[in-house]
Structure 1
Amino acid sequence: MGRGWAIAVHGGAGVDPNLSQERQELAKQLLTRCLNLGISALRSSLSAIDVVELVVRELETDPIFNSGRGSALTAKGTVEMEASIMDGPKRRCGAVSGVSTVKNPVSLARLVMEKSPHSYLAFSGAEDFAKQQGVEMVDNGYFITEDNVGMLKLAKEANAIVFDYRMPTVGLETCSAEVGPILMNGLSISIYAPETVGCVVVDNEGRCAAATSTGGLMNKMTGRIGDSPLIGAGTYACDICAVSCTGEGEAIIRGTLARDVAAVMEYKGLGLQDAVDFVVKERLDEGMAGMIAVSKIGEVAYGFNTTGMFRGCATEDGYMEVGIWE
């Protein structure tokens, strides 16, 4: 029998070990606020799909993490956001990419799921659909923060696409000389930026849902699509669980990470935390990522092989945790 509702949120995997205490506190406060928002919605009997949308909208509105306001900038200095949402019961889903004037991409993804015959719209098509649906639109400048303008300048000087999950934990002072540059898909990376946000929920009726939203990579090529809007990679929900991933998009895509958690639960008979551990350990090859998950019986789990992951989880029986490191 189910144990009631459960919820988890994340603000990205791969945290700079030198992140200031102040930033850590701000991140924890935001995660706590989002958890509490979700908890009160679940106590008012909102469905899982409504709760994940509500919580991710809150994360998109706060510029602390890389989604919505505060999104990483493309090589052209603009913001191109992407998001997806999935409802476990009938495996309905919606996703958007290349969104540049939609205030809350996760809500547009939900409209794609509910008001269009399709499951994924991108770039000008997604923007046109947003106008048609009357969602709140803002100028692209709304999403651009001073921090990120500075980060883009650094990235261009270093000629790097920026990822943050590759931050080494040892020998930071000496890493450049001895170890050589950190590589990702064979490309050298020299600086770091914030990551994706996501939420997974199981409600009192055992319905699971997941949503993920991101601004993508700092200095990314225009038109790059990561794992966040890809169903089965960054986001997945079915009748047994819901999963949202964060980290190295290219590795999450090739490992179909989110779907694999459901698969090993179904085919190997693993419990939720064992499934998450197995997938993080066995399916990432040399990639770096993290994930949050809930099961239909009210369990909550997370796992990551990066330096930390911004996360928070809570269950109906009173358990609550907000953390960054191991």
Structure 2
Amino acid sequence: MGAWAIAVHGGAGVDPNLPSERQEEAKKLLTHCLNLGITALRSSLSAIDVVELVVRELETDPIFNSGRGSALTEKGTVEMEASIMDGTKRRCGAVSGLTTVKNPVSLARLVMDKSPHSYLAFSGAEEFARKQGVELVDNDFFITEENVGMLKLAKEANAIVFDYRIPVVGLGLETCSVGAGAMESNLQMNGLPIRVYAPETVGCVVVDGHGRCAAATSTGGLMNKMSGRIGDSPLIGSGTYACDLCAVSCTGEGEAIIRGTLARDVAAVMEYKGFPLQEAVDYVVKKRLDEGKAGMIAVSNKGEVAVGFNTTGMFRGCATEDGFMEVAVWN
């Protein structure tokens, strides 16, 4: 028997202005989810079952941007996506464009286990969900009042906005426009200013006592995103990857993560360069993101855990069988 390890994240790119009570709220949820995973691992639940269990819990709570509390599209609706991967046989499942599925990660699991495919999206994914009898809710269930307010501001600013929890006063969101406002922040995505950088995708990576690695990631995407936009979270090899060596879940600027095939590259440098886990994570964050901002959590089949990000902060927690446990936001 090997040693188990688990890591969870709630997004990279935390704004330094985030009020301390909001930080504590986030840390409390991460601690709860970590403890849930630890208990499951101690009762010999497999890695794939643990990542699904933990991400379901993160989706159900509106604190982060997945499931309930997801970011809104430009149309004011929610389009969620998720993926899950079992490293033992590199089996995977992914979903995009979900509007009524209460737990996207569990539908991704069903795509992996109960369909001949790896990835289903939009009406096809919703139809599959109905056939599988998963819990469905109205799109309104996922929409929070805070997010409705943030979308309004994003539209006025003609910007993609990532974090609904930052106080808006003083950020210039009310008056920001493409042009002068864009120059203030210097951060742009496809020519549009990004005013507050905190994409709060959620994810979990686990290695169980048998050395089996698994990863799962779930998100609502970007506030004010175009309808039909797909980010890195459901893309195997970009936002999520697991193999016999390791498991990785990413968060941050989806477009940059996709270009850098971030999650797969961690496994690749371990496999082809012989890097240990943390070194592989550091290498990929440094060399593969170009100008992009992102973070990741990872575990190895040896029971190691690693974290890497090039943003001001990342909501994350990790624990190992030898008693180490940490929940943190900043560097």
TM-score category (smaller protein): over 0.9
Deviation track 1:19-38 (CA, whole Å, cap 9, x = no partner) reads 01100000000000000000
Match for residue 247 of structure 1 among 231, 244, 252: 252
Residue 128 of structure 1: aligned partner: 127
Aligned-pair CA distance for 1:190: 2.8
Q: Distance in 1 between matches of 2:289 and 2:47?
A: 28
Deviation track 1:245-282 (CA, whole Å, cap 9, x = no partner) reads 00000000000000000000000000000000000000
Match for residue 256 of structure 1 among 256, 261, 265: 261
Q: Does 1:290 align with 2:295?
A: yes
Residue 148 of structure 1: aligned partner: 147
Contact 2:13/2:197 (8 A) holds in 1: no
- After TM superposition, list the pairs within 5 Å mapping 1:10-89 onto structure 2: 10-89=9-88
User: Where does the alignment leave 5 or more consecutive residues of structure 1 unmatched?
Assistant: none
3-state DSSP class of the match of 2:269?
helix
3-state DSSP class of the match of 1:217?
coil
Q: Does 1:315 align with 2:311?
A: no
Instruction: Indicate how the Cα distance of structure 1 residues 222 and 177 shifts in structure 2: closer, same or farther if over 3 A, else same.
Output: closer
Deviation track 1:184-216 (CA, whole Å, cap 9, x = no partner) reads 233322345541000000000000000000000
3-state DSSP class of the match of 1:82?
strand
Residue 277 of structure 2: aligned partner: 272
- After TM superposition, list the pairs within 5 Å mapping 1:200-239 onto structure 2: 200-239=205-244
The amino acid of 1:112's aligned partner reads V
3-state DSSP class of the match of 2:257?
helix
Alignment TM-score, normalising by the size of structure 2: 0.93
Q: Distance in 2 between matches of 1:237 and 1:272?
A: 13
Match for residue 196 of structure 1 among 181, 201, 219: 201
Residue 116 of structure 1: aligned partner: 115
3-state DSSP class of the match of 2:330?
coil
Contact 1:10/1:292 (8 A) holds in 2: yes
Contact 2:11/2:201 (8 A) holds in 1: yes
Q: Distance in 2 between matches of 1:288 and 1:133?
A: 37
Q: Distance in 2 between matches of 1:286 and 1:95?
A: 27
Deviation track 1:57-95 (CA, whole Å, cap 9, x = no partner) reads 000000000000000000000000000000000000000
What is the number of equivalent residue pairs in this alignment?
A: 319
Residue 94 of structure 2: aligned partner: 95
Q: Does 1:302 align with 2:307?
A: yes
Q: Distance in 2 between matches of 1:29 and 1:310?
A: 11
Contact 2:111/2:119 (8 A) holds in 1: yes
Contact 1:10/1:312 (8 A) holds in 2: yes
The amino acid of 2:155's aligned partner reads K
Contact 2:15/2:196 (8 A) holds in 1: no
Residue 8 of structure 1: aligned partner: 7
Contact 2:199/2:221 (8 A) holds in 1: no
Sequence identity, in percent?
A: 84
Aligned-pair CA distance for 1:301: 0.3
The amino acid of 2:13's aligned partner reads G
Aligned-pair CA distance for 1:52: 0.1
Q: Distance in 1 between matches of 2:230 and 2:7?
A: 25
Q: Distance in 2 between matches of 1:250 and 1:315?
A: 32
Q: Distance in 2 between matches of 1:191 and 1:278?
A: 26
3-state DSSP class of the match of 1:148?
helix
Residue 163 of structure 1: aligned partner: 162
Residue 188 of structure 2: aligned partner: 183
Instruction: Indicate how the Cα distance of structure 1 residues 196 and 159 shifts in structure 2: closer, same or farther if over 3 A, else same.
Output: same
Alignment TM-score, normalising by the size of structure 1: 0.95
Deviation track 1:90-116 (CA, whole Å, cap 9, x = no partner) reads 000000000000000000000000000
Q: Distance in 1 between matches of 2:182 and 2:78?
A: 33
User: Where does the alignment leave 5 or more consecutive residues of structure 2 unmatched?
Assistant: 173-179
Q: Distance in 1 between matches of 2:158 and 2:256?
A: 22
3-state DSSP class of the match of 2:137?
coil
The amino acid of 1:208's aligned partner reads C
Instruction: Indicate how the Cα distance of structure 1 residues 178 and 137 shifts in structure 2: closer, same or farther if over 3 A, else same.
Output: closer
